[in-house]
Structure 1
Amino acid sequence: MANRKGQRRRFGTVRQLASGRWQARYRDPLSGEMKSAPHTFDTKTDADIWLTTIEAEIIRATYQAPDAGKVALGPYADDWLKHRKLEDRTRERSKSVIRLHINPTFGAGTLTAITTPRVRAWRTALLEDGVGEPTVVKAYQLLRAILNTAVDDELIRRNPCRIKGADRYDVPERPVLTVAEVYAVADAIQPHHRALVLLAAFTTLRFGELASLRRRDLDLTRSVVLVRRAQSELQNGTLADKAPKSAAGVRSVAFPDELVPELAHHLAHFAGAGQDGHLFQGPRGGLLRRSNFRDDWTRRPRRRRRLRWCLRWRVPGPSGT
Structure 2
Amino acid sequence: MSGRPRRRGFGYIRRLSSGRYQASYLGPDLVRRPGPQTFLTKGDAEAWLSRRREQIAAGEWVAPAKPAPKASALTFDTYAEQWMRERGIKPRTREGYAYLLRQYLRPFFGDMVLDDISPSTVRTWWAQLPPDKPAVRARSYSLLKAIMNTALADEILDHNPCRIRGAANTPRARDVRPASLNELDAIVAAMPTRHRALVLLCAWCALRAGEVLELRRGDVDVAAGTIRIVRAVSWLKGGPVVGTPKSAAGTRVVSVPPHVVPALQHHLDAMTGEGPGALLFPGRDGVGHLQPSTLHRGWRHAREAAGRPDLRLHDLRHTGATMAARAGATLAELQQRLGHSSVNAALRYQHAAQGRDREIAAALSAMARADRLPTG
Class of the TM-score when normalised by the shorter of the 2 chains: 0.7 to 0.9
Does 1:116 pair with 2:119?
yes
| 8 Å Cα contact 2:186-2:306 kept in structure 1 | no
Q: Quick one: structure 1 residues 76 and 305, their matched pair in 2 at CA, closer, same or farther if it must change by over 3 Å?
A: same
Conserved 8 A contact 2:115-2:157: yes
Residues 304/275 of structure 1: CA separation in 2 closer, same or farther (3 Å cut): same
Query: Which stretch of the first structure deviates more once superposed, 247-256 or 90-99?
Result: 247-256
Q: State the shift of 1:214 in Å.
A: 0.9
Q: Which residue identity lines up with residue 208 of structure 1 in the other structure? A: G
Farther off after superposition, 72-81 or 311-320: 311-320
Does the CA contact (< 8 Å) of 1:229 and 1:242 recur in 2? yes
For 2:63, the equivalent position in structure 1 comes to: none
In 2, the alpha carbon distance for the partners of 1:108 and 1:247 equals 37
Map 1:33-72 onto structure 2 (within 5 A): 68-72=71-75
Cα 1:294/1:26, change in 2 over 3 Å: farther
Code of the aligned partner of 2:281: F
Partner SS state of residue 311, structure 2: coil
Q: Higher mean Cα deviation, 222-231 or 192-201?
A: 222-231
Q: 1:76–1:152: structure 2 CA closer, same or farther, 3 Å change rule? A: same
Listed as ranges, the matches of 1:47-196 within 5 Å are: 68-128=71-131, 130-131=132-133, 133-171=134-172, 172-196=174-198
- Of 16, 23, 26, the residue aligned with 1:11 is 26
In the alignment, the residues of structure 2 paired with residue 125 and residue 182 of structure 1 have an alpha-carbon distance, to the nearest angstrom, of 44
- 1:182 CA displacement: 1.3
Which segment is superposed worse, 162-171 or 237-246? Answer: 237-246
Q: Is the 8 A contact 1:283 1:292 kept in 2?
A: no
Aligned position for 2:311: 311
Deviation at 1:30, TM superposition (A): 5.1
CA contact (8 A) 1:183 1:198 kept: no
Aligned to 1:29: 34
Gaps in structure 2 of 5+ consecutive residues: 1-10, 12-24, 38-47, 50-67, 323-337, 339-376
Are the aligned partners of 1:177 and 1:318 in contact in 2 as well (CA < 8 Å)?
no
CA 1:126–1:95: 2 relative to 1, 3 Å: same
Give the aligned residue type for 2:34: P
CA gap of 1:157–1:188, structure 2 versus 1, over 3 A, is same
CA contact (8 A) 1:73 1:110 kept: yes
TM norm structure 1: 0.73
Aligned to 2:207: 205
Asked whether the 8 Å contact 1:69–1:156 carries over to 2, the reply is yes
Q: Which amino acid aligns with 1:234?
A: L
Contact 2:272 2:279 in 1 (8 A): yes
Q: Residues 91-135 of structure 1: CA distance to partner in whole angstroms, max 9, x if unpaired?
A: 22222211111111111222133222232232232242x33x333
C-alpha contact (below 8 Å) 2:138/2:167 kept by paired residues: yes
Count of residue correspondences: 268
Question: Per the alignment, in what secondary structure is the counterpart of residue 182 of structure 2?
Answer: helix
By how many angstroms is 1:68 displaced? 5.0
C-alpha distance in structure 2 between counterparts of 1:309 and 1:255, whole Å: 27
- Pair 191,95 (structure 1): closer, same or farther in 2 beyond 3 Å: same
Give the counterpart letter for 2:100 in structure 1.
V
Deviation at 1:246, TM superposition (A): 5.6
8 Å contact from structure 2 (residues 183, 306) kept in 1: no
Which shifted more, 190-199 or 256-265? Answer: 256-265
SS in 2 for 1:258: coil
Distance 1:247 1:67, change over 3 A: closer
Is the CA contact (8 Å cut-off) linking 2:190 and 2:305 kept in structure 1?
no
**Does the CA contact (< 8 Å) of 2:206 and 2:320 recur in 1?**
no
Instruction: Quote the sequence identity (%).
Output: 35
Which digits, 9 at most, give the CA deviation of each residue in 1:255-305, with x for residues without a partner?
Answer: 22111222122122222332221111113322123222113334x38x716
Query: Alpha-carbon deviations, 1:199-233, whole Å to 9, x = none?
Result: 10011111111111111222222322111211222
How far 1:241 sits from its partner (Å)?
2.3
User: Counterparts of 1:101 and 1:13 in 2: how far apart (Å)?
Assistant: 49
Cα distance change on mapping 1:95 and 1:249 into 2, 3 Å = same
Amino acid at match of 2:82: D
Shift of 1:148: 1.4
- Shift in Å, 1:73: 0.5
Task: In structure 1, list runs of 5 or more residues that go unmatched.
Answer: 1-8, 15-24, 33-57, 60-64
Residue 281 of structure 2: aligned partner: 280
* 2:295 is the counterpart of 1:293: yes
Give the corresponding residue for 1:62: none
Structure 2 letter corresponding to 1:153: D
The structure with the larger Rg is 1
1:78-102 residue CA offsets vs partner (Å, 9 max, x unmatched): 0111112222222222222111111
For 1:194, the aligned partner's letter is R
Q: Is the 8 A contact 1:73 1:109 kept in 2?
A: yes
- On the 8 A contact 1:228/1:244 being kept in 2, the answer is yes
The alignment yields a C-alpha RMSD, in angstroms, of 3.0
What is the CA distance between 1:312 and its match in structure 2? 1.0
